[in-house]
Amino acid sequence: MLGNGSALSVAAPPMPPDGELADWSLEGLDALIVALADQGHPCWTLAGLATAGWWGRRQALETVVHRVDAERVLGPASPVDPALAADGVAEVLVVLHPPQLRLGRAVAPVAALRLTADDGTGSWLFAGPCASARSETSLQGMSRGTSPRQTRMRYLYLRRR
């Protein structure tokens, strides 16, 4: 959607012929770097009107998620910069979840959930309209040596207590 509420229809670029995917991807990367060069340039984002710098940050977060996924196929993933990881948590809670909630694709938490990074880079309270401070559950320190699946399992367990 454009800022004025009208829909924008953009055709996807055609896929490259077999054997040319790597070059095609690098060309796209080059175009992205040029587009993001002026970090202060106003542009539309998932969070409304912001700057091209927002998209640079968004691409860094998207890239790190896929990097970790790819590394975990072969074994343990290399560490993620703590500040970038903290930025990713904040993005999910502040930018990505609220629209999904409004569209009915997600539900609000029934209890407040405090997420605290074990390295001191951040703390977030994830709460819905029915949550109260006394129903808060903490997952402090869950990032150290814990897989995302284990974290989700622990969250589900704590939520039912």
Per-residue pLDDT of the chain (161 residues; tens, 9 = 90+): 344 444 555 677 788 888 899 999 898 888 888 888 899 989 888 888 889 998 888 999 999 999 999 999 999 999 999 999 999 998 888 888 888 888 999 988 888 888 888 888 888 888 876 544 444 444 444 344 344 444 444 444 444 44
Q: What is the torsional sign of CA 126, 161, 116, 77?
A: negative
In terms of residue numbers, what domain contains 48? Answer: 40-78
Do residues 71 and 121 share a domain? no
Q: What is the pLDDT of residue 113?
A: 86
Residue 6 placed within a domain: no
pTM above 0.85, yes or no: no
Query: How far is the CA of 16 from the CAs of 12, 26, 27, 66, 122, in angstroms?
Result: 12, 12, 11, 22, 42
- Give the domain-ending residue among 18, 48, 78: 78
Of 48, 78, 108, the one marking the end of a domain is 78
Both tokens of residue 116? 């605290």
Split into its structural domains, the chain has a count of: 2
Report the pLDDT value the prediction gives residue 11, as an integer from 0 to 100: 73
With a CB cutoff of 8 Å and minimum separation 6, the contacts of 18 are: none
In contact, 41 and 52? CB cutoff 8 Å? yes
Instruction: Dig out the tokens for 158 from the structure.
Output: 């704590």
Residue 100 sits at φ, ψ, to 5 deg, of: -65, -35
* Closest of 124, 119, 148 to residue 138, by C-alpha: 124
Give the pLDDT of residue 6. 47
Neighbours of 55 (CB within 10 A): 20
Q: 151 lies in a domain?
A: yes
Q: What is the pLDDT of residue 142?
A: 38
